[in-house]
Structure 1
Amino acid sequence: MAKYKGIEVKDGVRQLLPHMPLIEEYREMLQSLQAVWDNLNLLGQLSGTTAEIGQTREAFASLTGELLNNLAEQTLAKREQEMKARSQVVIDILVRNLFERTADIGFLSTDEAIRRFAGDPGEPWTLQQRFREYVRKYSVYEDVVLLDCGGRILARLAPDGANPVIHDAWVHQAVTTTAPYVEAYVHSGLFPERPRSLIYAYRIKSERGETLAVLALCFRFADEMQRIFRGLTTADDPGVMVLLDAGGCVIASSDPWQVPIGAELGVVAGALQRLRFAGRSYLAYASDTKGYQGYRGPGWRGLVLMPVDQAFDIHDDDPLDIPEPALLASVMSGGRAFSAELRAIPEQAEAIQRDLSRAVWNGTVRQGTTSLAVNSAFSKILLREISRVGMSMREVFSRSIGNLQSTVLSSLLADSRFFAALAIDIMDRNLYERANDCRWWALDATIRQLLAEPAAKNRRGGLEQVIGYINSLYTVYDNILVFDNAGEVLAASNPAAAGMVGQRLAEPWVEACLGLGDSQSYAVSEFVPSGLYGERPTYVYLAAVRAPDDARVVGGIAIVFDSAPQFAAMLNDALPHEADGSPVHGSFALFVDDQARVIAASDDRYRPGAQLALAPELLHPAADGCARLIALDGQVMAVGASPSGGYREFKGSDDAYRNAVTALVFIPLGAYDANARPAEPAGEVAMRRSGGSGEVAIREIATFHLGAHWLGLPVAAVIEAIELHGATSLANAPRQVYGAMIYRNETLPIYNLHAALGLPEPGEGSSVRQQVVVVRGDDGKAFGILVDRLGEIMEVAEGDIDDLSNIYVGIASVLASVVKTPPGSGQPMLVLLSVASMSEQLRGSGLAAAVDA
């Protein structure tokens, strides 16, 4: 622990507190009120008025430190979680993208047109057109280059006219490697003006296995990183996201003016740390990739930096919009959202406030019975001031606690929305590749030639050799089919589907595919059960195959997406995780269409095709997503929703394909109790003066509450209020007798007003902490009345009190009179109780005799 401006705080947050303006504001308000409190307490002790409230000073001070500590820790934890999630996504989204590139180079290096040119180089124009066609579909590449084994450029998408010899090491590696690809992030002769470029390369071999050339795919690295950064940047975000290479050098930055490319940063992964860079202090969180299907990328690391002096300026002080009180009350009562320590803070605050209210109430009651008029007047003024300061402290505590709760819950809600955005981004990026693949493979020279020649020798074998090799590289497909203009299946890549060859496809997408107008167009099936996928629902992506001379459509290619495991993997990757890396127990994620039908789920309870009941804002969220608290299957859930926005050209403005999908991520926070309610705060307990003239006879009334009912007794009949501790129920006692407790070394019978008036009692688990008002009976013996909370001490004109004895009879005769309220005032009715009636009922029950004995 450390000292910060008079408050004990934990070492971990001591240096950060000056940068947390909201917490500084609360600290200043509380310490200011405590200074006033000290002065009032001193005056109270000198006058003998407030002997009971001195002990609350230390309780307030202790809770102030505990509250501010926890608020600071949760504020820091929220920022840490945001930074951790973003740094993880920076690297994992990139690694997923680069995984696709490793498959692309493997396939394109077998392209027949490229192979023929490599074996007999000539005028490169035709090959450049093919490269251009490829990049129109895979816009993640900025250049495609074919080089001979010595590094001389044979053909290039973007020729510079020089055709220099490239001496980069990756050229030789591509010729000699035993790996399926070469991945190089280096300074390259292909782009001499750049510090480094990301290149995927592999050798081109003849049919006899002779190495002919090297093919290179040049990835739009800078462009892709800016897309990733933009997708993760929020409005007015002072943070910086960077990508580090294996040596800790910055290779991409969301803000190069703040953290430039080439800077070296020494950070460790998996922990929040302080970092000083360029004269500025930062919070830093770095993450290594989790990998994708065994691929872990080039060994890079995602990093988020947050300037310490701005890290907490974007903290949101607005209360959460939670329309149903039971949701927040349920979460506060248990579950993963709030630790036992956090749940105890509002309980401690309410207990301290209840003790203070009771001390002021008792002090005011005592002053109402004193004969020292001058001292009594001073004491009442003092008590009113103490009550006012107490109410101010309660307001600050209430705001602080509310902000603490909002910080925790808004962090969880932000997590759910972030993970939903991650899930849909992964889906869009993945399906972008599928839309590209079908169109590119439809341009394969072998497929086009064999479809154009129905009598070609070994037609089926030739087709299956090509699509079988493709499927071995692109394992996200369950099957690849080639069909002719009549819809008859000519070949299948999956041996298990060999029986389909020769069958005619009757699906509506066959006609849509054969009617596509150009090589940039594609078709996609609805997400419905398909015989191509064992009657399970999936997407089928299609492109028309044209004859080698482009004069006519000769068939189509259909790629059957292996939706079940692929979508499950996407959704599982988007789930929140515990510190040990395991998914949060009970959390799950869904993809749903615009009719709230399940496309895929990480939880087996939600089967594809199932219909969900979803609020409109979750089914059709805004572009930046939304998050809500809901009750589901007996749990309070934080639910984040994010709609599909596409990726690059996929679902873009020029893409005719539209498919509304929403990702939903559910995080359980605790058991739902529809009857749970937040704790009722203690009310004002200071004296409320009568509005009449000084000549009007007045009566002082001590008031209290039972549920929504406002009741009172003459101050002269009240001894004091005490906590309900150690009360014992009595066998065979009437229902209006609650039991008895020890008070001043004597047994005190307790009258149960709830039972006497037919009011429901606070149930088990209720936030109400009942108290006992000790009353002096008409026989001089004390008894207690069970109340829910204390009210004000009222000065009431005698003329405003109406007798009720002629209206109520029997047990209800405990209601003695009512205090009239001005018409239209909106004030509740104050009902006065009969001490004599309650005392008589206790005597009649035999309890008094038992107590005396």
Structure 2
Amino acid sequence: MQDDLLKLFYEVTRITEDKVGRIDGVMRQAGVLALNARLEAARAGTAGTAFSVVAQEMSAIAQEIRGIGSELRDAIAGNVALLETAGAEMVLDFRGERYADLARSAVEIIDRNLYERSCDVRWWATDSAVVNAAEEATPESCAHASDRLATILRSYTVYLDLWVADRNGRVIATGRPDRYRHAIGMDVSSSEWFRRAMALDSGDDFHVCDIGTEAALDGAAVATYSTAVRQGGDTHGERIGALGIFFDWAPQARAVLAGIGLSREEREDARLLILDRSMKVIAASDDRGFLTETFGLETADCRRGHYRNGDRLVAFAETPGYETYKGLGWIGCIESRSTQTNAPQLRAAA
């Protein structure tokens, strides 16, 4: 709609210039006719005196109208550039606001999804099979826990695997032992997810790691959630182990970015990103820069906004969190070509 308004403005400007040009042309012709009339009046002598006066007035009127046309053209020329800049700025602001809204929508969808993951890990850590495996770690209890985790994975396809580790950090049960053969028996005591889980105060708490790759899961990108497994499954029971669940990040992030409401033309000209709190790229519509690129986003301490960067328009929105999940400070971002090349000017919103 904004582009259509700008096109309409350009068309009105073109028509105005055309009409002023035609007026100018007609007045030039009128001036020539007036000059010819004066010449003919001079040849007619005394008989043409009155006609000479009329011809002279016609010439004066033609000159005055030409002056008015010239003034109108100058006025138009002096304001067209301002109107064009204002119109383009308006279109850019509309697009920037819309892109910032879409960026927020993307990161909101992710937050809602990850909120459910925080619920899953706390719930499954109280499952009797998981608790019994952490308490006893017998071959039978560990096998039963693995069977239980496998059942969960058949329903929750967003996970690559679920691991139970004992209090010393040794993995004793997984949901996909046939697929990820090296997981059972691994020492994860130094892993962030295990250390943080074992330091949590209660079963109502959880820890989530930033997006990273897990070698034991064939190097896949995962969001890892963890919590302590507690004696008897009680909220404040003794910590006897930890449950780690590995969210299959790449396909989920790709689906979210693919669902952002851009037209085909907009999408061809845009790069859609999810950034972590350190501005590292953790998802990109062009599949470039994953965990290797730090995007130079200029937020000016704003949680949402847009600005120009050379010939690019950059719009962003920080995660708002969802329910009890505060998020990790992730940012949705859309970078696209801008029709303006002015210096960056941040447009922030609450």
Same fold by TM-score greater than 0.5: yes
Whether 1:666 aligns to 2:311 is no
Q: What's the counterpart of residue 486 of structure 1?
A: 168
| CA distance, structure 2, for counterparts of residue 353 and residue 398 of structure 1 | 19
Check conservation: 1:587, 1:668, Cα contact below 8 A: yes
Q: Which residues in structure 2 correspond to 1:788-803 (within 5 Å)?
A: none
| CA distance, structure 1, for counterparts of residue 93 and residue 24 of structure 2 | 35
Q: What's the counterpart of residue 144 of structure 2?
A: 462
Q: Which amino acid aligns with 1:355?
A: G
Q: Structure 1's 417 and 471: CA in aligned 2 closer, same or farther, altered over 3 A? A: same
Q: Which amino acid aligns with 1:577?
A: S
Shift of 1:437: 0.9
Q: Structure 1's 549 and 588: CA in aligned 2 closer, same or farther, altered over 3 A? A: closer
Q: Structure 1's 508 and 408: CA in aligned 2 closer, same or farther, altered over 3 A? A: closer
| CA distance, structure 1, for counterparts of residue 161 and residue 263 of structure 2 | 33
Corresponding pairs, count:
319
Whether 1:644 aligns to 2:328 is no
**Which of 250, 253, 259 in structure 2 is aligned with 1:564?**
250
Whether 1:616 aligns to 2:298 is yes
| CA distance, structure 1, for counterparts of residue 7 and residue 210 of structure 2 | 51
Q: Which amino acid aligns with 1:574?
A: I
Q: Structure 1's 482 and 629: CA in aligned 2 closer, same or farther, altered over 3 A? A: same
Report the secondary structure of 2:182's partner residue: helix
More helix by share: 2
Q: What's the counterpart of residue 223 of structure 2?
A: 539
Q: Structure 1's 355 and 621: CA in aligned 2 closer, same or farther, altered over 3 A? A: farther
Check conservation: 1:360, 1:386, Cα contact below 8 A: no
| CA distance, structure 1, for counterparts of residue 64 and residue 27 of structure 2 | 13
Q: Which amino acid aligns with 1:515?
A: A
| CA distance, structure 1, for counterparts of residue 223 and residue 260 of structure 2 | 21
C-alpha offsets along residues 621-667 of structure 1, whole Å, 9 cap, x if unaligned?
733x2233445xxxx5543211111011111xxxxxx6221111234
| CA distance, structure 2, for counterparts of residue 339 and residue 638 of structure 1 | 20
C-alpha offsets along residues 358-384 of structure 1, whole Å, 9 cap, x if unaligned?
659969x99xx9998x84766655544
**Which of 21, 33, 54 in structure 2 is aligned with 1:355?**
21
Q: Which runs of 5+ in 2 are unaligned?
A: 39-51, 343-350
**Which of 548, 562, 574 in structure 1 is aligned with 2:232?**
548
Shift of 1:338: 7.0
Report the secondary structure of 1:607's partner residue: coil
Shift of 1:559: 0.5
Q: What's the counterpart of residue 260 of structure 2?
A: 574
Check conservation: 1:426, 1:570, Cα contact below 8 A: yes
| CA distance, structure 1, for counterparts of residue 302 and residue 22 of structure 2 | 47
Check conservation: 1:349, 1:397, Cα contact below 8 A: no
Shift of 1:408: 4.5
Q: Which amino acid aligns with 2:211?
A: F
Q: Structure 1's 340 and 661: CA in aligned 2 closer, same or farther, altered over 3 A? A: closer
| CA distance, structure 2, for counterparts of residue 519 and residue 454 of structure 1 | 20
C-alpha offsets along residues 19-73 of structure 1, whole Å, 9 cap, x if unaligned?
xxxxxxxxxxxxxxxxxxxxxxxxxxxxxxxxxxxxxxxxxxxxxxxxxxxxxxx
| CA distance, structure 2, for counterparts of residue 583 and residue 406 of structure 1 | 18
Check conservation: 2:121, 2:243, Cα contact below 8 A: yes
Q: What's the counterpart of residue 754 of structure 1?
A: none
Which protein is bigger by CA-based radius of gyration? 1
**Which of 510, 519, 525 in structure 1 is aligned with 2:203?**
519
Q: Structure 1's 602 and 621: CA in aligned 2 closer, same or farther, altered over 3 A? A: farther
Report the secondary structure of 1:468's partner residue: helix
C-alpha offsets along residues 132-180 of structure 1, whole Å, 9 cap, x if unaligned?
xxxxxxxxxxxxxxxxxxxxxxxxxxxxxxxxxxxxxxxxxxxxxxxxx
Q: Which amino acid aligns with 2:133?
A: L
Shift of 1:472: 1.3
Q: What's the counterpart of residue 435 of structure 1?
A: 118
| CA distance, structure 1, for counterparts of residue 107 and residue 151 of structure 2 | 30
Q: What's the counterpart of residue 107 of structure 2?
A: 424
C-alpha offsets along residues 386-410 of structure 1, whole Å, 9 cap, x if unaligned?
4445556667877776666456544
| CA distance, structure 2, for counterparts of residue 626 and residue 395 of structure 1 | 32
Q: What's the counterpart of residue 285 of structure 2?
A: 602
Whether 1:504 aligns to 2:183 is no
| CA distance, structure 2, for counterparts of residue 358 and residue 418 of structure 1 | 49
Report the secondary structure of 1:480's partner residue: strand
Shift of 1:673: 9.3
Check conservation: 1:575, 1:587, Cα contact below 8 A: no
Report the secondary structure of 2:268's partner residue: coil
Whether 1:626 aligns to 2:295 is no
Q: Structure 1's 403 and 356: CA in aligned 2 closer, same or farther, altered over 3 A? A: farther
Q: Structure 1's 659 and 469: CA in aligned 2 closer, same or farther, altered over 3 A? A: same
Shift of 1:477: 0.7
Shift of 1:481: 0.5
| CA distance, structure 1, for counterparts of residue 341 and residue 137 of structure 2 | 69
| CA distance, structure 2, for counterparts of residue 499 and residue 544 of structure 1 | 22
**Which of 593, 607, 620 in structure 1 is aligned with 2:276?**
593
| CA distance, structure 1, for counterparts of residue 19 and residue 294 of structure 2 | 45
Report the secondary structure of 1:443's partner residue: coil
Shift of 1:613: 4.5
C-alpha offsets along residues 445-494 of structure 1, whole Å, 9 cap, x if unaligned?
22112311234x61221111111111111111111101011110011112
| CA distance, structure 2, for counterparts of residue 600 and residue 340 of structure 1 | 34
Q: Equivalent pairs: percent with the same residue? A: 21
C-alpha offsets along residues 175-226 of structure 1, whole Å, 9 cap, x if unaligned?
xxxxxxxxxxxxxxxxxxxxxxxxxxxxxxxxxxxxxxxxxxxxxxxxxxxx
Alignment RMSD (CA, Å)? 4.0
C-alpha offsets along residues 511-564 of structure 1, whole Å, 9 cap, x if unaligned?
111111001111112323322443344321001110107431110100111011
What's the TM-score, normalizing by structure 2?
0.75
Check conservation: 1:416, 1:638, Cα contact below 8 A: no
Check conservation: 2:137, 2:172, Cα contact below 8 A: no
Q: Which amino acid aligns with 1:507?
A: S
Bigger mean CA deviation after superposition, 348-357 or 511-520: 348-357
Shift of 1:588: 3.3
Q: Structure 1's 342 and 533: CA in aligned 2 closer, same or farther, altered over 3 A? A: farther
Check conservation: 2:134, 2:240, Cα contact below 8 A: yes
| CA distance, structure 2, for counterparts of residue 361 and residue 616 of structure 1 | 56
Q: Structure 1's 423 and 462: CA in aligned 2 closer, same or farther, altered over 3 A? A: same
More strand by share: 1
Shift of 1:415: 3.1
| CA distance, structure 2, for counterparts of residue 595 and residue 567 of structure 1 | 18
Q: What's the counterpart of residue 530 of structure 1?
A: 214
Q: Which runs of 5+ in 1 are unaligned?
A: 1-73, 79-336, 652-657, 675-853
Q: Structure 1's 418 and 388: CA in aligned 2 closer, same or farther, altered over 3 A? A: same
Q: Structure 1's 349 and 595: CA in aligned 2 closer, same or farther, altered over 3 A? A: farther
Q: Structure 1's 592 and 346: CA in aligned 2 closer, same or farther, altered over 3 A? A: farther
Q: Which residues in structure 2 correspond to 1:200-599 (within 5 Å)?
A: 345=11, 348-349=14-15, 351-352=17-18, 355=21, 375=57, 382-389=65-72, 405=88, 408-455=91-138, 458-494=140-176, 495-505=178-188, 506-548=190-232, 550=234, 551-578=237-264, 584-599=267-282
| CA distance, structure 2, for counterparts of residue 349 and residue 409 of structure 1 | 25
| CA distance, structure 2, for counterparts of residue 526 and residue 413 of structure 1 | 28
Check conservation: 1:353, 1:390, Cα contact below 8 A: no
Q: Structure 1's 500 and 613: CA in aligned 2 closer, same or farther, altered over 3 A? A: closer
Q: Structure 1's 444 and 345: CA in aligned 2 closer, same or farther, altered over 3 A? A: same
C-alpha offsets along residues 106-153 of structure 1, whole Å, 9 cap, x if unaligned?
xxxxxxxxxxxxxxxxxxxxxxxxxxxxxxxxxxxxxxxxxxxxxxxx
